[in-house]
Structure 1
Amino acid sequence: MPTLLYPDSAPFVDHLRFEILSHEGHEAVVRMPADHIYKNRKGDVHGGAISALLDHSLGLAACGTGPNARISSTLSITIQYLNRGSGELICRTSVQRAGRSIIYLQGMVKGADGNPVAVGMATFKLFGTPPAES
């Protein structure tokens, strides 16, 4: 099983200043604050910043919480950009299907106005022993 060098948070995520609003079970809500550092040359939120927001949020949901929490790594992620992003963005993620070591998730990024900015589908590898089935 991989060793966590940074058990609380990854330095890259700390650098991006994402805020976890909620993380319960296999669902997560993460906020990206409004800041000029996320902007592209047109003044919109850069697609790479949106991608990082989705990947981080989906990864949190993949890991889960509590005694059944596991470590995860992204295997694949597909993102559809729906509208330009501006200002604060919120990403909500949830599991679509889970196996013993592979988990499929979906995430939606919305602007502060509630309009969708991007949707992402991802597959993650889970590490560690799966919880015993009851």
Structure 2
Amino acid sequence: MNEAMVAPFRTHNGIVWDDGVVRCTTREHHANVAGGIHGGLISSMLDAVMGGTVILHLPSHQAAVTSSLTVNYLAAGRIGDTLLASATVRRLGRTLAHVDGSLTRESDGKLLATATGVFAIVRRPTAEPLVRH
């Protein structure tokens, strides 16, 4: 079941939540000057899956916002690759969540990046429940 919060930034960049995994098939506009996939896309995918995974563990009146994100780039992605990002919550406290993430290339499973993050647990600013699809 898709449980990700709707986010215009992700939609604009072709980043899609798919059963607990974030995926993106890369295009020319995702490339850096060296022809690889821009690190900003990779870090955005990791941030999205890590925050989204935390949100799945929270009641609807709470959200998770990135407090700290460290990304380690291990190999380059190429235009046309479908990238997959997944995450594991290592510790979920009352105010902070500690999360690990990884990003792989779908075609061969090659690990392209890893991440660790800390997410602050906050009260949603409105009484409306989290938008989920």
Question: Which range, TM-score by smaller chain?
Answer: 0.7 to 0.9
C-alpha RMSD of the superposition: 1.9
Inter-partner Cα distance in structure 1 for 2:55 and 2:17:
14
Following TM superposition, the consecutive aligned residue runs of length 4 or more in structure 1 with deviations greater than 2 angstroms are 67-70
Local SS of the residue matching 1:68: coil
AA at the equivalent of 1:101: T
Match of 2:8 in 1: 11
Deviations 1:44-103 (A, max 9, x none): 1111110111111111011116x7343111000001001111211100111011111100
| Aligned residue pairs, count | 117
TM-score normalized by the length of structure 1: 0.80
Inter-partner Cα distance in structure 2 for 1:84 and 1:39:
10
Q: Which has the higher contact order (CA 8 A, sep 6+)?
A: 2
TM-score normalized by the length of structure 2: 0.81
Inter-partner Cα distance in structure 2 for 1:34 and 1:127:
32
Q: Pick one of 110, 116, 121 that aligns with 2:116.
A: 121
Give yes or no for contact 2:10–2:16 (8 Å, CA) kept in 1: no
Local SS of the residue matching 1:57: helix
AA at the equivalent of 2:117: A
Structure 2: 5+ residue runs without aligned partners?
Answer: 125-133
Match of 1:104 in 2: 98
User: How do residues 37-56 of structure 1 correspond to structure 2 at under 5 angstroms?
Assistant: 37-56=29-48
